[in-house]
Amino acid sequence: MRCMDVSLVLELRRELEGTRAEISHPGSETYHGDIKSWSDTCEKEAGAIVNVTSSEEVSITINFARKHHVEFVAKAAGHSTSNESATTGGIVISLHHMRKVLVDPASKTVAVQGGATWEDVNKATAEYGLAVVGATASQTGVAGATLGGGFGWLTGQYGLIIDNLVSARVVLADGSILDASEEENQDLFWALQGAGQAFGVVTELVFKAHTLSNKVFGGTLYYTADRLSKIVDFANWFHNQQDEKSGFFFGFRAPSPVEETMVMALLFYNGTMEKATSFFEPLLKLNSVLGKVDMMSYAQINRLANIEPKAEGRKWIGGTEVSFPLGKKLAHELWLEFNELMVLYPSMGNSVFAFELLPYAKITSVPIDATACANRDTSYNAGLLLCWRDANDDAVLGQKARALLRRVRRLQGRDESDEHVRSYANYAGHNYSPKYLFGSNLPRLQDLKKRYDPHNAFHKWHNLVPQIHDQRH
Ligand SMILES: Cc1cc2nc3c(=O)[nH]c(=O)nc-3n(C[C@H](O)[C@H](O)[C@H](O)COP(=O)(O)OP(=O)(O)OC[C@H]3O[C@@H](n4cnc5c(N)ncnc54)[C@H](O)[C@@H]3O)c2cc1C
């Protein structure tokens, strides 16, 4: 693999002449801003950043990178914590100038450019009393979440993000630009719905939108640890309800200024205040010590899980699936383990471990082999985000984070021989091999890689065909 040098940057500039793409490289004024990521751990010395504005510019850049054996990655809002959107010496194809959102109220569809965030989408759809199923943290990018399957507060009603995807425009490893949907390039469309980051750079996505003219109920509440047992009772009750209009995340966090580990609860209900407060009554009666709930816009509720890029600048994300009902002993042991980390490493206040409960009937109504996403069953995602300051702690915190997730699995009676799909692909980091993320869909994905990316140029997210090393990159 070759690193970009001055002559290559000049050549790339010549190839992109006449387009609106902007290149920054070491030494240019915009360089440091352009290599910034949400996590400082992913701030790498790229050889060049191409700020693209069209599919054609993406295509030229991919062709250039492959011709010169230079690594390339796609980057939208930069929330990967596993270096998937960063490169040392290679080319970052940055889509953050491609954030247009076009709403068609007549067909109730929304066309979104490949660099948009959910905030961009939520603002645009709100003007028409519409909403799409999008991630619960609106600072994150649309394309990455969608291509990995994706879920959000409206998942109970409308399924995964990909279940609401109508079509996508994608630039493949050979530079060709294809549209994929149920009508054209169906195989590619199937692969994009859950394993898309391994197939190309998506420049446009079209989603089904849903009427949402009302405000929704929600908020974040924090409780002292002695309430954990009652909150687990509520979570188990919530699990039994499977009320499609609801959503409930709970877990642990040591928020500022309290700086002590609390039990955190994120509430969502797409209904009236009266209906929602009656649904969440057992929780609301528990006397939280911080936070509040209220009626709010869809855009507002999707800001509650946002986490500032700075504060503790270094970040690690991982996940595993969990089954309910949840044992209280397990919850308590995890609280102890999370708390120990918070005590040992001060200033980790944005870190959070959460069980993410979203009613799953719509998710499981789609057969596993209908899309590439294999993370569809009656379990939920548990996500762990660690945030810290000191680079010297990187290795040990990575180990501790992985150990905590392994413990969740062990406490649930799952060991390493368990063949089940283990995590949502976008939370998985590089902790699981593709076999444990795509399950029975992996062989078809590997076949499709032969057709759409035979040299495995897109391997940085989850490497679906580790046996193929791209010679040309
Ligand atoms: C705080 C937080 C909360 C989250 N909550 C949710 C949630 O509620 N639901 C959910 O589903 N997910 C959630 N996620 C996961 C998140 O959706 C994914 O990590 C997403 O990929 C981040 O996209 P990005 O553009 O911000 O990051 P980036 O680092 O820019 O991209 C992430 C990955 O997507 C690839 N990519 C980006 N743009 C494109 C493109 N246009 N074409 C092809 N590949 C592309 C990158 O190469 C990289 O592999 C959360 C993540 C965080 C950090």
Residues 256 and 393 in one domain: yes
How many CA atoms, within 13 angstroms, populate the side-chain half-sphere of residue 271?
A: 16
**Cα R_g (the chain), whole angstroms:** 22
Residues 180 and 34 in one domain: no
Of 50, 140, 375, the residue with max ligand 1 atoms within 8 A of its CB, to mutate for a pocket test, comes to: 140
In a domain, 461, yes or no: no
Residues 63 and 127 in one domain: no
Boundary of a domain, candidates 62, 94, 126: 94
Buried (b) or exposed (e) across 272-291, using 16+ Cβ within 10 A? eeeebbebbeebbebebeeb
Q: Which atom of ligand 1 is nearest to the CA of 140?
A: 26
Q: What is the CATH number of the domain that holds 139?
A: 3.30.465.10
In a domain, 455, yes or no: no
Host domain of residue 237: 216-427
Residues 248 and 341 in one domain: yes
Residue type, 252: F
Boundary of a domain, candidates 193, 211, 229: 211
In a domain, 350, yes or no: yes
Boundary of a domain, candidates 94, 121, 145: 94
Of 42, 85, 94, the residue with max ligand 1 atoms within 8 A of its CB, to mutate for a pocket test, comes to: 85
Treating both helix axes as pointing N-terminal to C-terminal, what angle do 442-452 and 186-195 enclose, rounded to 10 degrees? 120
In a domain, 348, yes or no: yes
Three-state SS across 178-236? EEEECCCCHHHHHHHHHHHHHCCEEEEEEEECEECCCCEEEEEEEECHHHHHHHHHHHH
In a domain, 444, yes or no: no
Q: Which atom of ligand 1 is nearest to the CA of 317?
A: 53
In the structure, which protein residues have their CB atom closer than 6 angstroms to any atom of ligand 1?
Answer: 73-80, 84-85, 95, 114, 135-137, 140-141, 143-145, 147-148, 150-152, 197, 201-202, 305, 307, 317, 426, 461
List per-residue pLDDT tens for the chain, 473 residues long.
899 999 999 999 999 999 999 999 999 999 999 999 999 999 999 999 999 999 999 999 999 999 999 999 999 999 999 999 999 999 999 999 999 999 999 999 999 999 999 999 999 999 999 999 999 999 999 999 999 999 999 999 999 999 999 999 999 999 999 999 999 999 999 999 999 999 999 999 999 999 998 999 999 999 999 999 999 999 999 999 999 999 999 999 998 777 789 999 999 999 999 999 999 999 999 999 999 999 999 999 999 999 988 888 999 999 999 999 999 999 999 999 999 999 998 789 899 999 999 999 999 999 999 999 999 999 999 999 999 999 999 999 999 999 999 999 988 888 777 778 889 999 998 888 999 999 999 999 999 999 999 999 999 999 999 887 654 44
Residues 189 and 223 in one domain: no
Residues 271 and 346 in one domain: yes
Q: Which atom of ligand 1 is nearest to the CA of 95?
A: 41
**Of all protein residues, whose CA lies closest to atom 7 belonging to ligand 1?**
135
How far is the centre of ligand 1, averaged over its atoms, from the C-alpha of 144 (Å)?
4
In a domain, 356, yes or no: yes
How far is the centre of ligand 1, averaged over its atoms, from the C-alpha of 438 (Å)?
18
In a domain, 206, yes or no: yes
Residues 152 and 24 in one domain: no
Q: 439 CB contacts (<8 Å, ≥6 apart)?
A: 368, 374, 419, 420, 421
The structure tokens listed for 400 are 């501790």
Residue type, 376: R
Residues 253 and 294 in one domain: yes
Q: Are 61 and 94 in contact (CB under 8 A)?
A: no
Residues 207 and 221 in one domain: no
Residue showing tokens 């308590």: 332
Of the candidates 1, 16, 138, 139, the one whose C-alpha atom is nearest the C-alpha of residue 73 is 1
Q: 430 CB contacts (<8 Å, ≥6 apart)?
A: 82, 462
Q: Which atom of ligand 1 is nearest to the CA of 202?
A: 42
Structural domain count, the chain: 3
Taking the C-alpha atoms of residue 318 and residue 344, their distance in angstroms, rounded to an integer, is 20
In a domain, 403, yes or no: yes
Q: What is the CATH number of the domain that holds 329?
A: 3.40.462.20
Q: Which atom of ligand 1 is nearest to the CA of 315?
A: 53
Residues 271 and 417 in one domain: yes
Of 41, 50, 72, 75, the residue with max ligand 1 atoms within 8 A of its CB, to mutate for a pocket test, comes to: 75
Of 170, 426, 463, the residue with max ligand 1 atoms within 8 A of its CB, to mutate for a pocket test, comes to: 426
Residue type, 197: Q
Residues 10 and 42 in one domain: yes
Eight-state DSSP code of residue 67: H
Taking the C-alpha atoms of residue 212 and residue 234, their distance in angstroms, rounded to an integer, is 27
Taking the C-alpha atoms of residue 239 and residue 243, their distance in angstroms, rounded to an integer, is 9
Q: What is the CATH number of the domain that holds 53?
A: 3.30.43.10
Residues 315 and 282 in one domain: yes
How far is the centre of ligand 1, averaged over its atoms, from the C-alpha of 263 (Å)?
26
